[in-house]
Copies of this chain bind each other. A is one copy, B any other.
C-alpha cells in the first residue's frame, strides 16, 4: 500500500478526467450528482487522499495557521494554546507551532520570511509584537489575530487589565486594608518567556488607591519575573519595607504562589497577617486557597482563534477588539487586616503610625 500516485488513478478507474475527479472530491459545482457520487466512492475504495503539497501549489492556500507563543511550559500559555488549537482544528486548519522563547528565535521568526507558503494566518499569543514585527507579517499578506495586547488595525482579544486590577485592589480596600502593595511582572531582558507584562494592572492598582485617597508609595510597587521564584523574592523585598504592607496584589498566580511560599517560610500567616490576591485563576489556585482574578483563559484563546478564522474567511481586516472582563474569585487568602498592630513576625515591630491619608 504505497502512495498509489493520485488523481489520475482515480480518474482512470472512474473513467473520467482528472479535473472531474478534483471537482467531485471537493464538492465544486459543475458535476452531476451521479458522477460525483461515483468518483467519491471509487476514491474511497482506493484509499485515495489528495496530496496537500499539490493542492497548495495550485491554490496557494495551506489550510494551516501558525500559532506563536513565548512559552509552552507555563500554565497560562498551555491553556490558551490548547483552546486556540482546538478551535483551529475544528475549523479545518492545521496548526504550526512556534515557540519564541528568546529574543534570538523571536527575531529569526519575524525577520525570516518563514510563513508565507507555510501558513495562511498567524495567531500571536501574549507576545506584544512591535508594530514593525506586525507589519512584517501583514506585508506578507498574512491575516493575524493577537491575544494579550491591543494593536491598531489587528483583531485582538485581551483582558480588561485595568478594571481587573482596580477590582482586585478594591476588594482589599473593602476589607479594610490601607497598606496594599503591588507585585508586577518585569520584562526579563533577552527573553520573552514570561510573556509580556500587563502594565495596565499596575494602573488599576493605582486607580483604586487614589479612589480611596490613599498614598501612592513607590516602595510598595515591586517587579520581578513572572515565576514563583520571582514572586517569592518580590515578597521578600516587601517584607523589608519600613512599614510592611498588610495586603498584596500580585499580577500573576504563579508569582502569588511564590509569595505564599515566602510568607509561610517567614511564619507570616495568610490571611491573618497578610492578604494576597493573585491573577489568572491558575489550576492550582483553588488548592492553595488563593483569592484571585479569573479571566477565563481558555475562552480568550478560543475567541482569538475564532477571530483569526473569520479574518481568514473574510479576507478583509476586521479589527475587532474583544475585551474580556475578569472577575474576582474569593478564597481564603484574603481577610480583613488584624484590628490592632499585633503583627507577629520579626524584622521590626515598629510600625506604630498608620498611613496618613492625603
Which A residues fall within an 8 A CB radius of B?
Answer: 1-3, 47, 49, 51-54, 56-57, 60, 62, 64, 67, 71-75, 77-79, 81-82, 85-86, 89, 94-99, 101, 105, 113, 116-118, 139, 141, 228, 257-258, 260-261, 283-284, 287, 298
Contact = CB atoms under 8 A, between A and B. Distances in A.
B97 A97 contact: yes
Mostly, the A contact residues are mixed
A294 B85 CA distance: 30
Given A57-B53, A72-B85, A228-B284, A97 B96 contact: yes
A2 to B, nearest CB: 8
Contacts of A99: 82, 85-86, 89
Contacts of A117: 49, 51-53
Contacts of A97: 67, 85, 95-97
A219 B145 CA distance: 52
Contacts of A105: 89
B113 A47 contact: yes
Contacts of A113: 47, 49
A60 B67 CA distance: 24
B62 A72 contact: no
A1 B82 contact: no
A74 B85 contact: no
B139 A1 contact: yes
A228 B78 CA distance: 17
Contacts of A2: 141
Residue from the set A1, A53, A82, A97 with the largest chain B CB neighbour count within 10 Å: A53
A253 to B, nearest CB: 11
